[in-house]
Amino acid sequence: MNRLDRLTALLIHLQSKRIVKAQEIADRFEVSLRTVYRDIRTLELAGVPLLGEAGVGYSLVTGYRLPPVHFTRGEALSFVTAGKLVQALTDETTKTAFQSALYKIKAVLPATEKELVETVSSHIEVLDNPYLPQKRNQNLNIERILNSITRKQVIQLSYISAANTEVSFRIVEPVGIYSRGPYWYLIAFCRLRNAYRNFRIDRVQSLESLSDHFSTTHPSLHSFIEETSREKVLHKVILRIDKSAVHYLGDQHFYHGFVSQDEIGNQLQMTFLTESLNGLAHWFLLLGEVADIIEPVEIKTLVQQKLDLVKNRLYSKDSKPC
């Protein structure tokens, strides 16, 4: 960062809080305290009304503002919430860009709202779901993909699909990205397959925006998501789970198409609409001793088949103890 950019960023930083310590400035911009003092003096000479007190920090004279923007209390709180979500769900580049934007937003808040934002930040957290993968790729290239979309720029990527471990190379026309569960996905027109494809972004090994541009007007991302939902065949499944064991579920049932529940004696009857009977049968094996399958018959058959496979593996010759 050159000095002019640093001075601009420093002024915004000073506007984002009532009092800013020199060490905080030095840490953020990775400069020495001596450089901080020189930068502060430069701002003073430029006419910025600064107040400084040894051992306390620096502050701007009340009423000094740069851009004439006003945010409501609700808007100020929404920025904090959004920041927590960005921190938890995106990649490092997006986090850094959002943090820089948040400093600029905080810079134009009234003093009381600055205090509110700083106070409420420690009362909001976004936690990882223990039932979902914890290791996420932090280099998702979200910014680069979005830039390519807005510029209608072709992307070349190397990709490992879920079906195999071999890397394939694709040239695609990006349509949009979306987040689902712990992952981000890219919808794009694949020139190799001559069709639209859905790429899980954390499986992209490398990504390059090419100089080639496309002129095709692709359908909207929303239309793709709606079409995908319509194409899915959903199966109705009804299970009954002992009330004494319900607390073991956590929120796992929500990831299997949970729709509703009713109390039936000492059990909870849960209704699901699932894309995969096989997947739900796998999950049911974890609940078998405290749960019953009401319908359909197909899932009972799948569970029985899986139990037979487990039994065969347990008692096969290769599994016998030495």
DSSP lists the bridge partners of residue 51 as 59
Query: In this structure, what token pair is assigned to residue 203?
Result: 């499986």
Counting residues of the chain whose pLDDT is more than 70, the rounded percentage is 91
Q: What pLDDT score was predicted for residue 240?
A: 95
| 97 domain-assigned | yes
User: Do the domain assignments include residue 66?
Assistant: no
User: Do 223 and 241 belong together in one domain?
Assistant: no
Of 178, 199, 230, the last residue of a domain is 230
Quote the strand ranges of the chain, DSSP E.
Answer: 50-53, 57-60, 153-160, 167-180, 183-190, 195-200, 204-213, 235-242, 258-264, 267-274, 291-295
Look at residue 131 and tell me if it is in a domain: no
- Does residue 305 share a domain with residue 247? yes
Where among 230, 257, 273 does a domain terminate?
230
Tell me, yes or no, whether 68 lies in a domain. no
Q: Provide the domain limits for residue 160.
A: 142-230
CATH number for position 291: 3.30.70
Coil, strand, or helix at residue 303?
helix
Residue range 19-46, pLDDT digits in tens: 999 999 999 999 999 999 999 999 998 8
Domain count, the chain: 4
Q: Is 322 domain-assigned?
A: no
Q: 223 and 253: one domain?
A: no
The domain spanning residue 164 has which CATH number?
2.30.30
Sign for the CA dihedral angle at 40, 45, 49, 52 comes to positive
pLDDT tens column, 50-64: 998 888 899 988 877
Question: For tokens 């972004």, what's the residue?
Answer: 201
Structural domain includes residue 289: yes
Residue 132 binned pLDDT confidence (cut-offs 50, 70, 90): low
Tokens of 216: 């095709």
Mean pLDDT of 119-127: 87
